[in-house]
A and B are shown apart, each in its own frame.
Chain A
Amino acid sequence: MGAGNRLAGALTFVMPLAALVLIWAVVVPAFQVRPQIFPSVAAVIGAGLAGLRDGSLLTHAATSLARVAIGTVLAVLVAVPLGILMGISRGLSAFLTPLLRFFSVLAGIAWIPIATLWFGYGFGAIVFVIFNAVFFVVVYNTLLGVSTIPMPLRHAAASLGAGRRAMLSDVLLPGALPNIVTGIRTGLGFAWRGLIAAEMIATNVGLGYMLFVARDFYQTEVIVLGMIVIGALWLSIDRLLLAPLERATIERWGLVRA
Chain B
Amino acid sequence: MKTLSLKSLSKTYFDLYAGSHHTALHDISLDVPAGEFVAIVGPSGCGKSTILNMVAGFIAPSGGEILVGGEPVRGPGADRGVVFQSFALFPWKTVLENVGFGPKMRGVPKAERDEIARDYLGLVGLAHAADRYPNELSGGMQQRVGVVRALANEPDILLMDEPFASVDAQTRMTLQEELTRIWEDRRPTVVFITHDVPEAVFLANRVVVLSKGRILEQVEVPLARPRVWDRLVEDDAFKSLSNKVLALVRAA
Interface residues of A (CB under 8 A from B): 150, 152-153, 155-163, 166, 170-171, 174-175, 177, 249, 252-255
| A-B interface, 5 closest residue pairs, ranked by CB to CB distance from nearest | A254-B135, A161-B78, A161-B105, A158-B76, A152-B88
> A253 to B101, Cβ gap below 8 A?
no
> A150 to B88, Cβ gap below 8 A?
yes
9 A-B pairs with CB atoms under 8 Å apart are A156-B89, A158-B57, A161-B102, A161-B153, A170-B90, A177-B92, A253-B133, A254-B135, A255-B91
Hey, which chain A residues are within 8 Å of B56, CB to CB? Answer: 155, 159
> Cβ of B222 < 8 Å from any Cβ of A?
no
Hey, which chain B residues are within 8 Å of A171, CB to CB? Answer: 90
CB-contact partner of B58 in A155, A177, A249, under 8 A = A155
Per the bound structure, the CA–CA distance linking A21 and B81 in Å amounts to: 63
Per the bound structure, the CA–CA distance linking A163 and B77 in Å amounts to: 10
Hey, which chain A residues are within 8 Å of B81, CB to CB? Answer: 159-160
Per the bound structure, the CA–CA distance linking A53 and B93 in Å amounts to: 50
> A253 to B91, Cβ gap below 8 A?
yes
Q: Size band of the B side of the interface? A: 20 to 34
> A153 to B90, Cβ gap below 8 A?
yes
Q: Which residues of B, 120-161, contact A by the 8 Å Cβ criterion?
A: 133-136, 149-150, 153
Per the bound structure, the CA–CA distance linking A249 and B56 in Å amounts to: 32
Per the bound structure, the CA–CA distance linking A126 and B34 in Å amounts to: 66
A160-B101, A162-B105 as given contacts; A155 in contact with B84, CB under 8 Å: yes
> Cβ of B80 < 8 Å from any Cβ of A?
yes
> A253 to B88, Cβ gap below 8 A?
no
Q: Add 12 more A-B contacts to A152-B84, A159-B78, A160-B149 (CB < 8 A).
A: A152-B86, A153-B88, A155-B88, A156-B89, A156-B149, A158-B57, A159-B56, A166-B105, A174-B92, A177-B92, A254-B136, A255-B92
User: Which residue of chain A is the closest to B83 with respect to CB atoms?
Assistant: A156
User: Which residue of chain A is the closest to B106 with respect to CB atoms?
Assistant: A161
CB-contact partner of B82 in A159, A170, A255, under 8 A = A159
CB-contact partner of B86 in A150, A170, A177, under 8 A = A150
Hey, which chain B residues are within 8 Å of A153, CB to CB? Answer: 88, 90
A161-B102, A162-B105, A254-B135 as given contacts; A156 in contact with B88, CB under 8 Å: yes
Per the bound structure, the CA–CA distance linking A157 and B153 in Å amounts to: 12
CB-contact partner of A253 in B106, B135, B153, under 8 A = B135
For residue A194, give the distance in angstroms from its CB to the closest CB of chain B.
Answer: 32
Hey, which chain B residues are within 8 Å of A157, CB to CB? Answer: 90, 101
> B84 to A156, Cβ gap below 8 A?
yes
Hey, which chain B residues are within 8 Å of A152, CB to CB? Answer: 84, 86, 88
> A249 to B92, Cβ gap below 8 A?
yes
Hey, which chain A residues are within 8 Å of B92, CB to CB? Answer: 174-175, 177, 249, 253, 255
CB-contact partner of A161 in B77, B86, B90, B133, under 8 A = B77
Hey, which chain A residues are within 8 Å of B75, CB to CB? Answer: 158
CB-contact partner of A159 in B57, B90, B135, under 8 A = B57
Hey, which chain B residues are within 8 Å of A252, CB to CB? Answer: 133
**A-contact 0/1 string along B190-214, CB 8 Å cutoff:** 0000000000000000000000000
**A-contact 0/1 string along B73-114, CB 8 Å cutoff:** 001111011101010111111000000011001100000000
Q: Interface centre among A158, A159, A252, by most B CB within 10 Å?
A: A159
User: Which residue of chain B is the closest to A162 with respect to CB atoms?
Assistant: B105
Hey, which chain B residues are within 8 Å of A160, CB to CB? Answer: 78, 81, 101-102, 105, 149-150, 153
Per the bound structure, the CA–CA distance linking A170 and B133 in Å amounts to: 15
> B77 to A159, Cβ gap below 8 A?
yes
Per the bound structure, the CA–CA distance linking A156 and B84 in Å amounts to: 8
A159-B78, A159-B80, A159-B82 as given contacts; A254 in contact with B91, CB under 8 Å: yes
User: Which residue of chain B is the closest to A152 with respect to CB atoms?
Assistant: B88
Hey, which chain A residues are within 8 Å of B105, CB to CB? Answer: 160-163, 166
Per the bound structure, the CA–CA distance linking A163 and B135 in Å amounts to: 26
For residue A11, give the distance in angstroms from its CB to the closest CB of chain B.
Answer: 30
